[in-house]
Structure 1
Amino acid sequence: MQARLLLENGTLFTGLAFGAEGESTGEVVFNTGITGYQEVLSDPSYCGQIVTMTQPLMGNYGITRDDFESYVPFIHGFVVRRHEPVPSNWRAEYSLDELLKEHGIVGISEIDTRMLTRMIRSHGTMKGILTTSAASVEELQERLTGSEILRDQVARTSTNNIYTSPGSKERIVLMDFGSKNGILRELNERNCDVVIVPHDTTAEQIRHMRPDGILLSNGPGDPKDVPEAIRTVSELIGEIPIFGICLGHQLFALASGADTEKLKFGHRGGNHPVKDLATNRCYITSQNHGYAVTEKSVQGTELEITHINNNDKTVEGLKHSIHPAFSVQYHPEAAPGPQESNYLFDEFLQMIADHKVKHPVRSRQAELAASARGAQ
């Protein structure tokens, strides 16, 4: 079956269809990862996007239950140079084609992904329509022109209910803006008592949970589309230690008075170099974002830049100069990607421990006693 991808600049790619039949629109982006297509497909941060893989061969090692980053994929389309329908991997439980069919995702193969990637790098991300239909190019252009880029991706990907992943150590509230399973996995490995909450949970609701720390998760889209989260974070800075990842990093910056901007074509892949300004060490990191904190906007705030991207010098890490709070633009849980940055979870827990020493929590009896004395 034939599939076609039409970009808003009028370029038409014609190839072979795999996965589901149908049609979808979205922002066309590219990912430079060599492996990890299952994690890419199941990463909620790709909500509303049609993803092009620069690695030419996809599907060769199949799909396994253990490698999902979310239960339901939110991606709008998958673009590859070559699709391998029969995987060769002892862990594989089913194929890439079967996964896309199961979740209604259209795939296209046998197109020049190198040309498409160079076009995106030159012109920036563009809207596109991916279809297996026989509609004319004029009809597709009309549908694409009338489509809108999603603005509610966080609401689509966040949990609707509060739930827990019990542990015996620090209680961490994980604000879910479209969180990857890898973040919860890293907290579970450290035996944290994790409470996962919806994106619109208020500061007062979080206070009632009496957490030791707050983790702001990754997620899709423009951070300015979730102003309620910015307000919540701004209220909690200085009260409870905070660690932000990806979208959480951007929300932390906005809540602290900095600003964000849309990148020309974003950072997506498991091979992005980031420099730690304190040590001058370079880390190879996993990234997936289309927005970044603007460097100039950090000036005049209480934030300090801790990491920069070695490719384009964009801001990759921040810390608060007064309060226990820091963030990174990349993914220390790294799935797919290198795991050399997962030490940041240990630094987060150490920051919590240091905060407890400086600000010991008073017992309930002490609070009642103080209240009684105040009443007298």
Structure 2
Amino acid sequence: MKAFLILEDGTRFEGKHIGFDKEVVSEIVFNTSMAGYTEVFTDPSYAGQAVCMTYPLIGNYGVCLEDMESERIWPDAVIVRELAKVPSNFRCDMSLQEFLEKYETPGIEGIDTRKLVRILREKGTMNGIITTNENLRYEDVKGRLSAYTTGDVVSKVSCTEKYEIKGAADLAENGPISGSSSFNKENYEASLKGDLSKREKRPSIVRNLNGKGLKVALLDVGAKKNIADSLAARGCDVTVYPYNTTAEEILNSNPDGIMLSNGPGDPKECTGVIEEIKKLYASDVPIFAICLGHQLMALATGADTYKLKYGHRGGNHPVKDLSNGRVYISSQNHGYVVDTEKLDSKVAEPAFINVNDGTNEGLKYVGKNIFTVQFHPEACPGPQDSSYLFDRFIEMMCASK
């Protein structure tokens, strides 16, 4: 079946329909990762967007359910040059086509993805429509395209009630955290029904139990699973809270540390969350924030954010740690950044910068046990170069006890 992508500037692509059969209007973005499409498609930060994968062949190793970063696919649609029809991998649970159908996600293949990415880089991220209606004209959808916004997506991706994940040390009697060969599909099915506490946890490459006994409160504004899993693999007990949880409830649980997660959309839309983060900032509890959480903390302390022309999405972005001068390759997925020109030096100072374009990639808060990063130290997909930041967070918590 033919499928069509019509962009906000009137550009029209013709390809083949893949996935679930439905028409969608969304913000079109691109990701440069060569692998890890399962993790990309299940990253809640893509809610409200349609993602184009720049690598030409997607789906060749199928989908392993254990690799999911949440309980469903979040992008509105998927755009690829070629969809592999017959996956080959011993861990494969289903094909990507089956995966897209299961979560009712449409897509298009066979278009010139290089041309699409060039347009987005030159003109900036724009909206588009994916449809199988070959009679649909740009004039028919021009108004819908210009009117579309991602809107309030954080409320859609956050958990609805709090749940706990025990640290690796506490799981010793019940066996280790499962590896790829022992994925428990019953737990996966339980997670689909909303019982997130029963899901399997994926370990970090290096398990560090220095966090044994530490309690971490994770505010879920669109959290990838590997954030909590990275803490649990280091021995921390993690309690995950919905996005609209009050600061009082979190602080009354007496956590040793607070994590602010990644998430989708314009950070300035999260006015209620920002007000609660102001209260968390005022406490003496150590805080580590990632991606959207990093932006929300900046807004809560008087800084500003702005939208990038086409964002950073992929697993090969170099960031420089200003404390030691080292450059790390990072996994990223964001369209907004903190404006360091409007940063109060008495409140926070830059801790990381993007080597490619010089934008801010992290902050260290003055006189506070708080540091935040724009990139993803938990990766999945992507390099594990910056996973040491979880150890830094644990050291901060231990030092403040």
- With structure 1 as the length reference, what TM-score do the two structures score? 0.92
Deviation at residue 282 of structure 1 after TM alignment? 0.6
Q: Does the CA-based 8 Å contact 2:4-2:134 persist in structure 1? A: no
Deviations 1:225-267 (A, max 9, x none): 1111111111111421100000011011111211100000000
Q: Does the CA-based 8 Å contact 1:127-1:144 persist in structure 2? A: no
Deviation at residue 142 of structure 1 after TM alignment? 4.5
Work out the CA distance in 2 between the residues paired with 1:313 and 1:61.
35
Name the structure 1 match of 2:47: 47
SS in 1 for 2:73: coil
SS in 1 for 2:364: strand
Work out the CA distance in 2 between the residues paired with 1:7 and 1:140.
12
Task: Tell me which amino acid in the other structure corresponds to 1:352.
Answer: M
Name the structure 1 match of 2:320: 275
Deviations 1:150-183 (A, max 9, x none): 2111000001101111235111000000100110
Work out the CA distance in 2 between the residues paired with 1:146 and 1:339.
38
Name the structure 2 match of 1:257: 302
Name the structure 1 match of 2:99: 99
Name the structure 1 match of 2:235: 191
Work out the CA distance in 1 between the residues paired with 2:259 and 2:39.
21
Task: Tell me which amino acid in the other structure corresponds to 1:186.
Answer: S
Cα distance, 1:146–1:135 mapped onto 2, change above 3 Å: farther
Work out the CA distance in 1 between the residues paired with 2:343 and 2:365.
11
Task: Tell me which amino acid in the other structure corresponds to 1:75.
Answer: P
Task: Tell me which amino acid in the other structure corresponds to 2:333.
Answer: N
Identity of aligned residues (%): 49
User: Where does structure 1 lack aligned partners over 5 or more consecutive residues?
Assistant: 357-376
Name the structure 1 match of 2:244: 200
Deviations 1:116-151 (A, max 9, x none): 001000010001111123442146524634742121
CA RMSD of aligned residues (A): 1.3
Name the structure 1 match of 2:56: 56
Work out the CA distance in 1 between the residues paired with 2:299 and 2:233.
30
SS in 2 for 1:353: helix
Name the structure 2 match of 1:155: 155
Alignment of 1:289-308 (within 5 A): 289-308=334-353
User: Where does structure 2 lack aligned partners over 5 or more consecutive residues?
Assistant: 168-211
Task: Tell me which amino acid in the other structure corresponds to 1:206.
Answer: I
Q: Does the CA-based 8 Å contact 2:261-2:293 persist in structure 1? A: yes
Name the structure 2 match of 1:115: 115
Which one of 328, 332, 343 corresponds to residue 377 of structure 2? Answer: 332
Work out the CA distance in 1 between the residues paired with 2:274 and 2:104.
33
Deviations 1:283-311 (A, max 9, x none): 00000000000111113441010100001
Deviation at residue 55 of structure 1 after TM alignment? 0.5
Alignment of 1:307-326 (within 5 A): 307-326=352-371
SS in 1 for 2:276: helix
Q: Does the CA-based 8 Å contact 2:3-2:131 persist in structure 1? A: yes
Q: Mean Cα displacement is larger for which, 57-66 or 224-233?
A: 224-233
Work out the CA distance in 2 between the residues paired with 1:142 and 1:282.
43
Work out the CA distance in 2 between the residues paired with 1:183 and 1:232.
21
Name the structure 1 match of 2:17: 17
How many residue pairs match? The answer is: 356
1:179 aligns with 2:223: yes
Task: Tell me which amino acid in the other structure corresponds to 1:200.
Answer: N
Alignment of 1:336-347 (within 5 A): 336-347=381-392
SS in 2 for 1:164: strand
1:217 aligns with 2:253: no
Q: Does the CA-based 8 Å contact 1:128-1:144 persist in structure 2? A: no
Work out the CA distance in 1 between the residues paired with 2:140 and 2:164.
45
Task: Tell me which amino acid in the other structure corresponds to 1:13.
Answer: F
Name the structure 2 match of 1:373: none
SS in 2 for 1:263: strand
Cα distance, 1:309–1:154 mapped onto 2, change above 3 Å: same
SS in 1 for 2:262: coil
Deviation at residue 25 of structure 1 after TM alignment? 1.0
Task: Tell me which amino acid in the other structure corresponds to 1:187.
Answer: L
Task: Tell me which amino acid in the other structure corresponds to 1:45.
Answer: S
Work out the CA distance in 1 between the residues paired with 2:44 and 2:140.
27
Work out the CA distance in 2 between the residues paired with 1:169 and 1:13.
55
Work out the CA distance in 1 between the residues paired with 2:80 and 2:143.
23
Deviation at residue 191 of structure 1 after TM alignment? 1.6
Task: Tell me which amino acid in the other structure corresponds to 2:132.
Answer: T
Which one of 195, 199, 214 corresponds to residue 170 of structure 1? Answer: 214
Structure showing greater Rg: 1
User: Runs ≥4 in structure 1, deviation > 4 angstroms?
Assistant: none
